[in-house]
């Protein structure tokens, strides 16, 4: 952050970080009387007159001059507004509105798409008392590009519009669009699966490039919105694309970020997308023509529509906790230091690990995020959101988001990471595990993840890889992290607050972690241990979440963080599905079993305590029964290398065992059930 900056904290108080003596304060060119006091490394200045954030204030020290920007004065509520912001079209006019209280003048420069060098219209914006700048022209400018020109303290700054819903190549200009006309170009709006409860969902996390870039995917074009389509086949004539997802049986695809991020959109560079730039615009690198602002919109809407036609819901991975750029971001250019949290030393807080944090607790920041989320629901018909580093979003903000979005879509999916990447100066409670209780928001269950396979990327082991004394930790995940008993007590109130998983895009794949932590085992045992982890996820109470490719033993060559490892490491090799067909059939069979069995989707903690009984949780084995009205399900997870026999009265139809699933029964056993080593056994008994 530049050193020569001061902050207007009230209508007569200024704070700056310096130890030098203050000589003059100049407001709009006039000297004003003041007093000041030194408080450590800060100087507090008291003026003899009332000023506003729109006044141009210069402070002269003995050696330096300081520019004054609005500080805490913007937090007093007087500059909050519910005004709709962005560009707006009518049949004979175009209007622009942007929130930017500060000592500046703002202009709208409007360009023809045929010439982005010279503007065709320059509009002067006028501001209201809340800091909303507005300009209007009596022309319908659909299809034109624009940007804002800010003149502040003898500096000229250009920026795109953070509220804009379309942009030119690489986010250089915003683009004037009419979403009503875009809608008219669409097919009829389709909806994803109609689930009675979020617990019926089976979420599949995927990256567009990963799913479609490999030559094995059989797609016509690689790494594009259009690449995910019906009718694609692998070189071995197996299903790929949407047909593959349908065969696997998942209900929702969680798309890694498709909001516009900072990159070269005509390059072949690989990017996970956690470098956000324009939050209301689809990313152009996945478009067949990123130079056409409408093309990317139609292609993404078409993909969502196609997934919905195939009864697959769409969840967007959203990154509102930070921006890729800080000083050069549109937020910082428009309202310096408002959108970002600062430390006591006026440095940018870095709880994201990416250089900044969005100050979600501030009214206009929170309004921006909620308006943006509503845009993705209303204009793209998405079914939910996964929040990156949700801890940094804050508890109050997340509760308001949940309340506002359910007014639009009652069954919206909301979940995220209940942690931060570092310390934060947030003026709100961090949304850690436990904060989700009673909110209708779910959190990732990293406790179960670690209990199953060990800690992330090291050599540590978990339950499925032979570590002792992890049974009770796994049992907490099996019951949905509720307060189940005096011994088994988790962080949730109800099972719909928990996302159970054993791997995701971060860190090693499940297969790589198993290989690293158990290097001396045989290949077949590695397969069984990976399968055991997924079988526990798919038979636990809560919402199951699968990392794309985990059903085909996906590898990233032991890469721990593949965000910049390129396509070769990250892309899905669909031939692995053919090579490990038995593994794929097992996972897809478990998915179908879960979809068919309501007892794996108990809706309340009361029902779980009533119907689910843990019989054994020790010695590398976990055994439990779930009792329904007309049948019971017995589940045995055996992580040991020995067979295990358990006596249970009645006639049992064994539907899953030793890497196989058959709804009609692999075999039938009476009185005693034999369990294979490193395997999940599931039996059903009618009562």
Residues recognised as catalytic: 388, 417
Q: Mind giving me the DSSP string for 584-605?
A: HHHHHHHHHHHHH-GGGS--SH
Q: Report which secondary-structure segment, H or E, holds 29.
A: none
CA distance 477 to 453: 13
Residue whose C-alpha is closest to residue 78's, from 50, 56, 101: 101
The residues near 331 (Cβ < 8 Å, ≥ 6 apart) are: 162, 323, 338, 339, 340, 358
Q: Report which secondary-structure segment, H or E, holds 21.
A: none
CA distance 370 to 407: 12
CB 498, CB 629: distance < 8 Å: no
Quote the tokens at residue 466: 């032979």
Q: Report which secondary-structure segment, H or E, holds 452.
A: helix 446-453
**Edge-to-edge strand order for the sheet containing 86-89?**
86-89, 94-99, 132-137, 126-127
Q: What angle do CA 131, 336, 20 make, to 5 degrees?
A: 120
Quote the tokens at residue 650: 């009645």
Whether the CA torsion 241, 242, 248, 250 is positive or negative: it is positive
Residue whose C-alpha is closest to residue 282's, from 328, 307, 316, 242: 316
175 three-class SS: strand
CB 630, CB 609: distance < 8 Å: no
How many C-alpha atoms does 449 have within 13 Å on its Cβ side? 24
* Angle formed by the axes of helices 446-453 and 523-538, nearest 10°: 160
Whether the CA torsion 551, 555, 560, 562 is positive or negative: it is negative
From residue 659, how far is each of 202, 275, 524, 682 by CA, in Å? 20, 40, 11, 11
CB 349, CB 370: distance < 8 Å: no
Burial of 89 (0-12, 13-18, 19+ CB in 10 A): middle
């Amino acid at each position: 952050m530049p050193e020569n900056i001061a902050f207007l904290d009230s209508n007569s108080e200024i704070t700056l970080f310096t130890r030098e003596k203050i000589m003059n304060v100049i407001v709009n060119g006039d000297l004003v009387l003041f007093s000041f006091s030194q408080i450590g490394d800060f100087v507090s200045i008291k003026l003899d007159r009332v000023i506003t954030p729109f006044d141009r204030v210069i402070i002269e020290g003995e050696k330096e001059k300081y520019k004054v920007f609005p500080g805490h004065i913007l937090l007093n509520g007087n500059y909050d507004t519910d005004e709709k912001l962005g560009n707006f079209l009518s049949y004979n006019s175009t209007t622009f509105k942007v929130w930017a209280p500060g000592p500046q003048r703002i202009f709208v420069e409007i360009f023809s798409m045929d010439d982005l060098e010279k503007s065709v219209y320059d509009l002067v914006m006028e501001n209201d008392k809340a800091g909303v700048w507005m300009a209007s022209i009596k022309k319908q400018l659909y299809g034109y590009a624009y940007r804002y020109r800010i003149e502040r303290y003898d500096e000229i700054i250009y920026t795109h519009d953070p509220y804009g819903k379309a942009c030119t190549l690489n986010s250089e200009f915003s683009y004037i669009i009419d979403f009503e006309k875009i809608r008219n170009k669409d097919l009829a709006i389709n909806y994803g699966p109609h689930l009675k409860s979020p617990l019926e969902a089976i979420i599949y996390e995927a990256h567009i490039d990963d799913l479609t870039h490999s030559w094995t995917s059989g797609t016509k074009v690689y790494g594009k919105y259009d690449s995910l389509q019906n009718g694609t086949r692998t070189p071995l004539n197996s299903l790929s694309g949407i047909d593959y997802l349908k065969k696997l049986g998942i209900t929702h695809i969680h798309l890694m970020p498709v909001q516009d991020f900072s990159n070269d959109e005509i390059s072949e560079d690989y990017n996970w997308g956690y470098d956000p730039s324009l939050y209301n615009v689809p990313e152009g690198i996945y478009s067949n023509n990123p130079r056409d602002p409408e093309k990317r919109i139609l292609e993404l809407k078409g993909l969502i529509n196609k997934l919905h036609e195939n009864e697959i819901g769409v969840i967007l991975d959203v990154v509102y906790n930070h921006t890729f750029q800080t000083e050069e971001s549109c937020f910082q250019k428009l309202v310096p230091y408002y959108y970002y949290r600062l430390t006591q030393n006026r440095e940018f807080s870095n709880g994201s690990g990416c250089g900044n944090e969005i100050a979600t607790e501030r009214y206009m920041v929170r309004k921006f995020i909620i308006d943006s989320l509503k845009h993705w629901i209303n204009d793209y018909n998405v079914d939910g959101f996964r929040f990156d580093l949700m801890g940094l979003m804050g508890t109050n903000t997340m509760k308001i988001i949940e309340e506002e979005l359910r007014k639009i879509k009652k069954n919206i999916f909301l979940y995220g990471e209940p942690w931060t990447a570092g310390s934060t100066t947030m003026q709100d409670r961090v949304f850690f595990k436990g904060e989700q209780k009673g909110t209708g928001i779910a959190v990732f269950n990293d406790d179960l993840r670690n209990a199953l396979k060990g800690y992330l990327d090291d050599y540590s082991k978990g339950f499925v890889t032979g570590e002792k004394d992890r049974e009770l930790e796994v049992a907490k995940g099996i019951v949905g992290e509720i307060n189940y008993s005096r011994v088994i007590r988790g962080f949730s109130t109800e099972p719909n607050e928990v996302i159970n998983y054993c791997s995701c895009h971060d860190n090693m794949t499940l297969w790589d972690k198993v290989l690293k932590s158990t290097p001396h085992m045989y290949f077949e045992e590695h397969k069984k241990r990976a399968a055991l982890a997924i079988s526990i996820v798919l038979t636990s109470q809560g919402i199951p979440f699968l990392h794309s490719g985990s059903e085909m033993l996906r590898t990233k060559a032991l890469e721990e963080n593949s965000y910049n490892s390129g396509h070769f490491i990250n892309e899905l090799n669909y031939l692995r599905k053919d090579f490990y067909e038995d593994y794929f059939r097992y996972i897809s069979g478990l998915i179908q079993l879960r979809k068919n069995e309501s007892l794996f989707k108990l809706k309340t903690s009361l029902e779980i305590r009533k119907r689910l009984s843990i019989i054994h949780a020790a010695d590398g084995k976990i055994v439990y029964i779930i009792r329904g009205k007309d049948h019971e399900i017995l589940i045995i997870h055996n992580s040991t290398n020995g067979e295990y026999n358990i006596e249970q009265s009645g006639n049992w139809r064994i539907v899953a065992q030793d890497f196989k699933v058959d709804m009609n029964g692999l075999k039938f056993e009476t009185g005693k059930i034999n369990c294979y080593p490193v395997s999940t056994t599931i039996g059903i008994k009618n009562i």
